[in-house]
Structure formats: structure tokens, C-alpha cells
Amino acid sequence: MKRLLSSIYIIICVLPFVLGGCIREDEYDNSPAGNFEALWKLIDEHYCYLDYKGIDWDSIYNVYSPQISDDMGDDALFEVLGNMLAELKDGHVNLYSAWNTARYWDWYLDYPRNYSEELIEQYLGRDYRIGGGAKYTIFTDNIGYVSYPDFSAAIGDGNLDEMLLYLGMCNGLIIDVRNNGGGNLTTSSQLAARFTNERVLTGYIQHKTGPGHSDFSDPEPIYIDPSDGVRWQKPVVVLTNRHSYSATNDFVNAMRCFSQVTLMGDRTGGGGGMPFSSELPNGWGVRFSASPTLDVDGQHIEDGIDPDIHVDMTDEDKAQGLDTIIEEARAWLNGSAS
């Protein structure tokens, strides 16, 4: 019995633009070979980074196709398909079954962590405030500090007004998005809109227009418009590490377009492709990067964004209860205010 490979892709991140073009329908047997062929072709025609990453997808087919047999069980098939997807080296690419999720995590695992949740709790203290997904406080040197560890946690305009009014007395502001693996682009853009007084071009997006690996639309501009609410006018330092990914990568890309913002810490993890989802004949879900985003210079942000000032946490500081990156940000902001 044949099942139809889904041609309708569920948009994971809500964006203020419409996906262009159509995705053709194909039929595949619900068999190990049929599911393999469906997945390989789905990536071949719709994944957006094959040429950019220099991946020979035909050679990947030749490696993994011989590993498929008619009598293999679901566990074995899932392993082969997951290993094939790992060749893309993309944290936005996943295979979902009822019992497991295939994922690629080396985009951050092989790098310094540069983050300690225990230290963050110490810096926030016991009387920090919470507004939506943000936790914030004022340090003794009159530097404001905001920790936003997950853009899946929404924040309202009222929350942002109250937060920025409370921090308004500060000489500078630290926004800590280390270990923020992403979430909702609406949330990250909503926060970024509080740091500009004019419309700012922050990058571009492209969409697949055909099955060829380089069949893309012309780049469409992405803007951040200033919020109608309270906006921050003073110096800002945004803290990043390799686990700053996806919507957080977009947030960092937008924030670096504002003149009063300095990026500090480690390179972000990347994740510049907008993820879309489909389904294999056996019902397993597939998520993959389908629309690449570019910076204002037309360069891909898939591989991450370098900080203006690279700082790693040290074991010596950690042993003394200090977060090296926060301390460097405080010193930077205090120097800017003097």
C-alpha cells in the first residue's frame, strides 16, 4: 500500500512573509526502500544548504542506499536514516518516530560551554524580576542585566515596557542569550525592536523555487521596525555562546545592526535556515532547513555569528563564583559610561 509523501509543509517559525512556490507530490511505498527514497529525494529537492555546504548528496545516496534491506526492522531503518541526515550537519534537521528523535548536536557539543546556570542564579540574586521569558535585575555598579534563556517563552509589550522602565536608571544593559537554543522568531524580533528608533534592514531571506540545489528566489529584505513602546537608548552588550541557536541567532544578527550594541562571548551556534516539516510514508516526521537567511551583506548566517569581543569563561573565575563573560561586559559598559 502506498502513502502520499506530504506536500504541505508546516511552518515552525511564524514569519512576516509568505513561502513562495509549490512542492510537487510523489508516491513512495511504505517499505524500507520506499521510506529511504522518499527522505533522500525530499532533502535533494528542498533542503536549502546542499550547495552552500558543498555536500554531494548523490554520493550520500550511494553510501546509505546499500544499507537498506527489505527485512530490516524499524530500529535499524531509523538509525540509517538518522545517520544519513547527520551528514547535513544541521541542528534544524530531525527525524521523528514514536520512540526517538534523530538529531545533530555537534554544532555546540565540541565547543567550550561558556555558561553556568548556577552562576546565573547567583548574579540574578533572590530579588530579580520576571517579565514573560525574561529575568532581570540591576547590579551594584548600576548595570542592568537581562537573562533570556528560551525564546519559546513569550514576552508581552507590557512586560517589555515595565522591564525597560525599571532598568532605565542603569548606565548600560547586558542581554544574556547564552544557551538560548531558539524558539519563536516573533519573540526575538519583538525584543530587538526595543533597541532601534528607525526601521533597520537586518538581512534577507530566500525560498526554494524548484528542485535544483540552487533554485532560489531573489533575496527578500527583512526589517526590524521600532516598537511603539519604551525603547532603550544606552549602550548594550549581548552575551552569546555556541548554544545561541536558531531564533537566537536571528536575534543576534539583528542586534548587531544597531550602533549601540556590542556582541561579546563566543560565536553563536548558527541555524540560519527556516525549518519546515514533512512526513515519510510510514508516518515518521522530518524537519529540515528550507529557506536560508542572509545578513545585510548577503552572507549566510547558518554557521553562526562571531562576537565583536571574544571572551571565554575561565576555571579560575568560576571557582571564585565569577562569570568571566558577565564581568567583561560590566567592565566594557562601565568604561563606555565613564
Three-state DSSP string of 255-313: HCCCCCEEEEECCCCECCEEEEEEECCCCCEEEEEEEEEECCCCCECCCCCCCCEECCC
CA distance 325 to 172: 15
| CB-based contacts of 260, cutoff 8 Å, min separation 6 | 195, 233, 234, 235, 236
pLDDT at residue 25 greater than cutoff 60:
no
Give the mean pLDDT of 113-135.
97
Mean pLDDT score across all residues of the chain: 92
Can you give the pTM of this predicted structure? 0.90
255 and 195 in contact (C-beta within 8 Å)?
yes
Q: Cα 123 from chain centroid?
A: 25
pLDDT in tens, 221-276: 999 999 999 999 999 999 999 999 999 999 999 999 999 999 999 999 999 999 99
Neighbours of 104 (CB within 10 A): 17
Q: pLDDT band at 35, cuts 50/70/90?
A: very high
Name the β-bridge partners of 104. Answer: none
The CA-to-CA distance between both ends of the chain, in Å, stands at 73
Q: How confident is the model at residue 15 (pLDDT cuts 50, 70, 90)?
A: very low
Give CA angle at 254 (328, 191), nearest 5°.
Answer: 80
The pLDDT value recorded for residue 1 is: 37
Q: Which grid cell sits at 168?
A: 532605565
Work out the number of other CB atoms within 10 angstroms of the CB of residue 75: 10
State mean pLDDT over 207-234: 97
Residues in the chain: 338
pLDDT of residue 336: 74
> What is the pLDDT at residue 110?
85
Least confident window among 16-20, 56-60, 111-115, 302-306:
16-20
CA distances from residue 12 to 3, 156, 273 in whole angstroms, order as listed: 23, 20, 11
